[in-house]
Amino acid sequence: MLLEVDGLETFYGASQALFGVELAVAEGEVVALMGRNGMGKTTTIRSILNLTPPRAGRVRFAGQEIAGRRPHRVARMGIGLVPEGRRCFPNLTVDENLAAAARPGRWTLEAVRTLFPRLAERRGQSANTLSGGEQQMLAIGRALMTNPRLLVLDEATEGLAPVIRQDIWASIRTLKQEGLSILIVDKTLSELLRLADRCTILEKGSTVWTGAPGALDAALQDRHLGV
């Protein structure tokens, strides 16, 4: 396994958000982390990156323990995060944002521009003048520029116009076809089920189901994902 998460327990102050999350991503696999609002998806991602250090449990990435490492060190181990809310450096240009993240590998400025031609068109514009969709492309581009072994996408299509969403989904499918390992959280169930090799569902901070998207039938969807 590329990523192995066992018995993760995470708190915000005195309030416990995760109660033993189990999660795994194999090399080349796309895993959808699912669950209703507030069930702990973002907290799980934050715990994996040590942005919110877990109080119990373990996270192993590429055979190494993550515990005790600072977030930028975890990123260096090969985890590229596209955080909820797509944070880029607002006053840097598109190219400067991408260059700031660069580490050697397949993903270069040219490669990111090929994946997102819009970023080539906007190369000299500062990030805060981009549309929401373009900022999202930039956030994904930045994560790719670190040449990660695992790409983590938290709500990458949220709040975007439908045509832009389709562009983002198409780019994520391209990344999957290339064999990139991906952990993804998103609200668009139909797209997730189409993309994922495996789904893991959280309920109240615990893993309640893991399986292939084809096994996630209407009854399971209703029980664990319905509103």
Which of 43, 47, 171, 181 binds ligand ATP (CB under 6 A)? It is 43
Phi and psi at residue 16, to the nearest 5°: -85, 125
Stretch of 33-41, 53-61, 128-136, 216-224 contacting ligand ATP, by CB under 6 A: 33-41
Neighbours of 104 (CB within 10 A): 7
Find the shortest distance in angstroms from Cβ 34 to ligand ATP. Answer: 9
Which of 20, 28, 38, 132 binds ligand ATP (CB under 6 A)? It is 38
Q: Which of 116, 106, 205, 186 is nearest to 146 (CA)?
A: 106
Find the shortest distance in angstroms from Cβ 41 to ligand ATP. Answer: 4
Q: Is 42 in the site for ligand ATP (CB under 6 A)?
A: yes
Q: Is 15 in the site for ligand ATP (CB under 6 A)?
A: yes
> What is the total count of residues that contact ligand ATP (CB under 6 A)?
11
Phi and psi at residue 102, to the nearest 5°: -65, 135
Distance between CA 117 and CA 48 in Å, rounded? 31
Which of 14, 37, 104, 162 binds ligand ATP (CB under 6 A)? It is 37
- Do residues 92 and 148 touch, judged by C-beta distance below 8 A? no
Q: Is 12 in the site for ligand ATP (CB under 6 A)?
A: yes
Angle formed by the axes of helices 132-145 and 162-177, nearest 10°: 20
Stretch of 38-46, 97-105, 159-167, 218-226 contacting ligand ATP, by CB under 6 A: 38-46
Please state the separation of Cα 98 from the chain's center in Å: 18
* Positions that interact with ligand ATP (CB under 6 A): 12, 15, 17, 35, 37-43
